[in-house]
Structure 1
Amino acid sequence: MPGGAELDWSVEPLQGWHIPLLDDPAFLPLQPLLQRALLLGVPDRLIAAVSSRRCLAPRVHVALCRDQPGRPLLLGIIVTRRLNRSGSSWEVQHLILAEDSLGGPGLPTEAALTGALLREAILRGRGACSWIATTSSLDTPRLAALRQQGFQPLRRDALWCWQAKGPAPALGPGLELLPLNRDTAPQLWHLEQAAIPAQLRQILDRRSEDLLDHSGTRGWMLVDAIRREAVAGVRWLADQPEGGQLIELSVMPGREALLGPPTALLLHRLSRPGQPLWLRVELSDRVRNLWLEQLGATGHGEQVLMGRSLWRRPPSPPAREAARRLEAMLEPFQPRRRTLPTPVGPR
């Protein structure tokens, strides 16, 4: 466990008796999520004991200092969740440090806390081949801590917040509006696969059933009525601690003309009264950023999507097998002996 500070502290999985310690203002928005993680953790362990199915509940680890008078001091929290059924891809969903404890006498530094929480979460993620994390582009210490754990920047995004005002636009001609469900999930999966870069596709390692596990039925898509393929879609990703829903909006490459009333209709369908929608849009996507600005969305700074991948190429075949294949490939070009005539004996 981590050390190097005057006071003794450690990182451990969240337990029920930790909940009363979450009185720091930084932790209050996460209380519902942490209580849900504890409640789901019990059936999750039962499922894991009788089947090979991966965990459903988010994993939570806390940094705790017991080496002081009175009750223990909770220094930080990290919340991670799997992004697919196979458990190969995970996300650092939240990493929050106690505001009242940073810089206290004998307490660990921000860099030490962040690094220890990340290391423990990654160590406990057995079977995970890749990780993603998102942080503010201005949070230099957090970016440095992620880099130290092997994360590399994948994308720079603008963070937008939008709230529905007025009636939803009408559905345009040649399009069908369909909800996300078991029958339509493969169409939305194909759309998202086409809309994200190959490196990010490999890190996420998603299948159509993963979209349902992740978003449930909280999603909508526009389907080309002739080609029967999804050309734009939106789905829920997470509840924001500050209120509202974090969503993902995907548009088929080459169909950017849909950025207007058709995609606004998707946002209206997913929105809830009094709850804003939060979207991340790549900075280089000027068309989409301009559309959101014209739609009345407000910008909330820039974020960096970081990725850490352990995917490796499959091992090369043994030398003997490789030599055999090479010999078989070159066989047609080998010189052949001339066939000798068969001697004919006396009759």
Structure 2
Amino acid sequence: MAHSTFTDAALTIRPLQYRDLDELRQWTADVVDAGEMVASLETIQRLEQVRRWYGPLKVLSLFPNPWQHLFSAFVAERQGQLCGLIQVSPFNRTRSTWQVDRVVVNRSVVPTGAPTFFGDIGSRLLRYCFETIWEARTWIIETNVNSKAALALYRQNGFQPLAQVTYWSIGAEQLADLGGREPDLPNLLPVSNADAQLLYQLDTAAMPPLVRQVFDHQIQDFKTNVLQLLAAGLTNWWQRNEVLNAYVFEPQRKAAIGHFKLVIDRDGQHPHRADLTVHPAYTWLYPELMTQMARVLQPFPSQSLQVTSLDYQPEREEYLVRTQAVPQDHTLLMSRSVWHKMRETKPVTLEGLQLSDVLSGLQPAGKPVPGRMSWSEEWPLSLPSQVAPFRRQRDRWGRSSDHDASEPDASADGSRE
């Protein structure tokens, strides 16, 4: 069968090399299958950037640094031709959770008669990442809900739904209306590394336990070192962006109850983007924080604002609906644990054991040895007075042992009377 032959040893998986970029550059959107056309176009654009910066990326991957895993990719090769590509990246600072950025397959090199080529090659690529990247305990992916091929691929490889993500767009007219009043935010402070503990507690409280366990965020995930700050500054200068990062501090509880990160496009060519986090007990902060962001955007070119919400944040979605925000995209966040990869063989069952084999382990190792209880003569002086009757009874038993066993113990009977 073509299907079984295609998934055998003819397909090899290896890390991406520089010589592969020339062949990957020839891939076009009509021959690339990524489960959806938008992902295919983004992959081709991403490969052009990788080709331009491959030298620095390769050097950074040789020693530990914050950008060591900036671009981790593996390719599937069959008979000297590349037929698949997968890109992965760490999700948190400790690299306990990794995410699958994209999986693409070239249809032009797939043999005729293999209708499930995307699932076959994609599964091989995913399995290779699960076995190679040993530090990853959990994997996550985010795919469009309408991508049937991608959903089937991830479900086939053990991914389960974690949350539904909705991308909302707030128009320039709605932003102008929101910025017409003064927000009630007396304790709005800029974010620094000293506030990492507060932001970590806010992030922990804003998500359910299952999502919190998968994300596995730590305090260092909310800190920025000098190199990262310099790289972010250069990136924003190149893309002509401006970033505003602030949080709301509650002085009585000494905790952060709201946080937003606003990425402003100064040229007006792209929409503005915002990441919003609000404590579940302070949902009244949604209109205040949105009003604050709308007022910040007033001096810049009129563009829409993109905000993300997940299905475990119903108050945010209700507020976005009231502000006449338009949902742009719906995706599904899925996760997979790799703890079971330590033992993927079939475990030994108890069906083959006989009852006699089980009960034989419960038999005593030898016959019990009879013995007698003896009282020591050296009792400590601090024993309580309740021990004295036992001493007198022991003395009586010692005197009665000199008499014949057949004779009645008169002294004992008299003493009892």
Secondary structure at the aligned position of 1:249 is classed as strand
Q: Does 1:233 align with 2:259?
A: yes
The answer as to whether partners of 2:247 and 2:260 remain within 8 angstroms in 1 is no
Question: Would the alpha carbon gap of residues 82 and 224 (structure 1) be closer, same or farther in structure 2, given more than 3 Å must change?
Answer: same
Q: Which amino acid aligns with 2:147?
A: D
Secondary structure at the aligned position of 1:122 is classed as helix
Out of 162, 182, 191, the residue aligned to residue 180 of structure 1 is 191
Q: How does 1:209-248 map to 2 (within 5 A)?
A: 209-212=220-223, 220-227=245-252, 228-235=254-261, 248=275
Q: Does 1:200 align with 2:217?
A: no
Give 1:150 shift. 1.9
Other-structure match for 2:47: 31
Q: TM-score, normalised by structure 1?
A: 0.71
Out of 253, 265, 281, the residue aligned to residue 280 of structure 2 is 253
Out of 75, 78, 81, the residue aligned to residue 62 of structure 1 is 75
Q: Which amino acid aligns with 1:229?
A: A
The answer as to whether partners of 2:85 and 2:103 remain within 8 angstroms in 1 is yes
Q: Which amino acid aligns with 1:180?
A: V
Give the whole-Å Cα distance in 2 for the aligned partners of 1:139 and 1:191: 33
Secondary structure at the aligned position of 1:172 is classed as coil
Which residues of structure 1 form unaligned runs of 5+? 238-242, 313-335
Q: Which amino acid aligns with 1:81?
A: S
The answer as to whether partners of 1:160 and 1:278 remain within 8 angstroms in 2 is yes
Moved more, 209-218 or 245-254: 209-218
Q: Which amino acid aligns with 1:28?
A: I
Give 1:191 shift. 0.9
The answer as to whether partners of 1:80 and 1:93 remain within 8 angstroms in 2 is yes
Give the whole-Å Cα distance in 2 for the aligned partners of 1:275 and 1:10: 47
Moved more, 107-116 or 35-44: 35-44
Q: How does 1:102-181 map to 2 (within 5 A)?
A: 105=112, 109-162=117-170, 169=179, 172-181=183-192
Secondary structure at the aligned position of 2:62 is classed as helix
Give 1:236 shift. 7.9
Other-structure match for 1:329: none
Other-structure match for 1:299: 327
Q: Which amino acid aligns with 2:5?
A: G
Q: How does 1:14-53 map to 2 (within 5 A)?
A: 14-20=16-22, 21-23=24-26, 24-25=28-29, 26=40, 27-31=43-47, 34-35=50-51, 39-47=56-64
Secondary structure at the aligned position of 1:105 is classed as coil
Give 1:201 shift. 0.9
Instruction: Report the count of equivalent residues.
Output: 304
Give 1:118 shift. 1.3
The answer as to whether partners of 1:34 and 1:60 remain within 8 angstroms in 2 is no
Question: Would the alpha carbon gap of residues 86 and 138 (structure 1) be closer, same or farther in structure 2, given more than 3 Å must change?
Answer: same
Give the whole-Å Cα distance in 2 for the aligned partners of 1:80 and 1:213: 22
The answer as to whether partners of 2:137 and 2:339 remain within 8 angstroms in 1 is yes
Give the whole-Å Cα distance in 2 for the aligned partners of 1:5 and 1:159: 38
Q: Which has the higher helix share?
A: 2
The answer as to whether partners of 1:5 and 1:106 remain within 8 angstroms in 2 is no
CA RMSD of aligned residues (A): 4.0
- 1:100-146 CA-to-partner distances (Å, cap 9, x unmatched) read 53866377711112212211222222111111111122222222221
Other-structure match for 1:84: 92
Give the whole-Å Cα distance in 2 for the aligned partners of 1:187 and 1:267: 25
- 1:204-253 CA-to-partner distances (Å, cap 9, x unmatched) read 1111211346996756233135334222223489xxxxx76875421100
Give the whole-Å Cα distance in 1 for the aligned partners of 2:337 and 2:386: 59
Give 1:90 shift. 0.9
Give the whole-Å Cα distance in 2 for the aligned partners of 1:147 and 1:276: 35
Give 1:309 shift. 2.1
Question: Would the alpha carbon gap of residues 270 and 126 (structure 1) be closer, same or farther in structure 2, given more than 3 Å must change?
Answer: farther
Q: Which amino acid aligns with 2:57?
A: L
Question: Would the alpha carbon gap of residues 277 and 89 (structure 1) be closer, same or farther in structure 2, given more than 3 Å must change?
Answer: farther
Give the whole-Å Cα distance in 2 for the aligned partners of 1:45 and 1:3: 37
Give the whole-Å Cα distance in 2 for the aligned partners of 1:60 and 1:274: 38
Question: Would the alpha carbon gap of residues 338 and 95 (structure 1) be closer, same or farther in structure 2, given more than 3 Å must change?
Answer: farther
- 1:17-49 CA-to-partner distances (Å, cap 9, x unmatched) read 22222332323232366355763342232227x
Q: Does 1:265 align with 2:310?
A: no
Question: Would the alpha carbon gap of residues 6 and 56 (structure 1) be closer, same or farther in structure 2, given more than 3 Å must change?
Answer: closer
Give the whole-Å Cα distance in 1 for the aligned partners of 2:185 and 2:156: 50
Other-structure match for 1:11: 13
Which residues of structure 2 form unaligned runs of 5+? 30-39, 233-242, 264-269, 341-382, 392-417
Give the whole-Å Cα distance in 2 for the aligned partners of 1:338 and 1:152: 69
